[in-house]
Structure 1
């Protein structure tokens, strides 16, 4: 009989997920993980041809892709939740309507990228985005918290960006400070979220987008470039 972890990966991949990982969340405070011991991280890659077009900033095509992928992720999370419930397990769905960004810090209680690093899917780049070897940072993420005992990945606790500062050089808001992330670092020590938000809103407004969206750091990342090169 197929185990639940394999079933989830197979079914979510069929529905369009690009990467699926399972995380042991036991080292995260109970209240931040809704008292659930495990997390499922789901990533969907952004269209490489659209990412190629945001070298100078966001476009209407990128904004459309961003929203389309977010909606797709919500559906994938709901589908994962249904599978878990059918097997008798709890599932807390971290959809776009459920996750609340705190206005004072522009962060969430349990970021999707934290679940992803605990699942071993990638590391946090100098731009404060998850970086994966498969797609660079050209992905969107979502999560499910559960009590289902899953086959978890090996957590990634250190950056693999090394001396690269491509995202720092590309950022119009000078948000990345050039420091490498590790699991014990607070975001404020290597990234200025306020500067990122301000520059992103300005960039978006110039092309008629009323949202906080930019993407220049995504396109500039060498790991993203490897993904884009495979689709030229």
Structure 2
């Protein structure tokens, strides 16, 4: 078993639904802490909870948000530890490490950047990662390393086409409706401040002082296909 296979197996056993590897050489070195490779780890959001946020975030959705974040931190730390035990350098981008810039509401290296470099999905018009298998009903974390992992083929462009469902559904009017490509700035896709302001207003209805909304996750046709497939299976 290669190290890439060992990592994927161990992370999957612990709750990851997708594990991918990225060559980050095309990303500015200062953004990636000087590391050359990245591991993207995805955890699936519970489908019945996502289906229940049509009219706004629910207490169950907030509990899911906390559960998944805790799991992602644990998975990142597991991968970091395994790589270090093998003699490599590694840095898990957990919530303790990642800082959100107050003026831009952006991070040094978004997890979704690692995800597109690993080829597991593209950036949707909602500025979130979208995968063919689960739409955007996932949450992400990433780990940086100097270990030469078996990198996937990067995705450099959107596969949303003419769809504007997320733009039309956004209660904050934060989404521009433009199609993503790897050269775009985030602000060309959506207004992070409008998004956070509206999401916080919606989450306060359930007594939560967080920026939670999730409507663009639910409304995305790729997410809907995923939910419909699961309904047919049951």
* TM-score (ref. length: structure 1): 0.98
RMSD of aligned C-alpha atoms?
Answer: 0.7
- Counterpart of 2:71 in structure 1 is 72
Per-residue deviation at 1:231? 2.3
- Counterpart of 2:32 in structure 1 is 33
Listed as ranges, the gaps of 5+ residues in structure 2 are none
Q: Which string of whole-angstrom CA distances, capped at 9 and with x for unpartnered residues, describes residues 117-168 of structure 1?
A: 0000100011100001111001100000000010000000000000111111
After superposition, where does 1:16-27 map in structure 2 within 5 Å? 16-27=15-26
After superposition, where does 1:167-186 map in structure 2 within 5 Å? 167-186=166-185
Q: Distance in 1 between matches of 2:225 and 2:21?
A: 25
Q: Distance in 1 between matches of 2:43 and 2:58?
A: 19
After superposition, where does 1:132-171 map in structure 2 within 5 Å? 132-171=131-170
Q: Is the 8 A contact 1:120 1:154 kept in 2?
A: yes
Moved over 3 A (4+): none
Q: Distance in 2 between matches of 1:69 and 1:190?
A: 26
Q: Distance in 2 between matches of 1:172 and 1:103?
A: 23
Listed as ranges, the gaps of 5+ residues in structure 1 are none
After superposition, where does 1:1-232 map in structure 2 within 5 Å? 2-232=1-231
Per-residue deviation at 1:97? 1.4
Per-residue deviation at 1:55? 1.0
Q: Give the secondary-structure state (helix, strand or coil) at the position aligned to 2:78.
A: helix
Q: Distance in 2 between matches of 1:147 and 1:138?
A: 30
Q: Which string of whole-angstrom CA distances, capped at 9 and with x for unpartnered residues, describes residues 177-227 of structure 1?
A: 010010000011121111101110111111211101100000000111111
Q: Distance in 2 between matches of 1:73 and 1:190?
A: 26
Q: Is the 8 A contact 1:77 1:142 kept in 2?
A: yes
Q: Distance in 2 between matches of 1:119 and 1:51?
A: 26
Q: Distance in 1 between matches of 2:107 and 2:89?
A: 22
* TM-score (ref. length: structure 2): 0.97
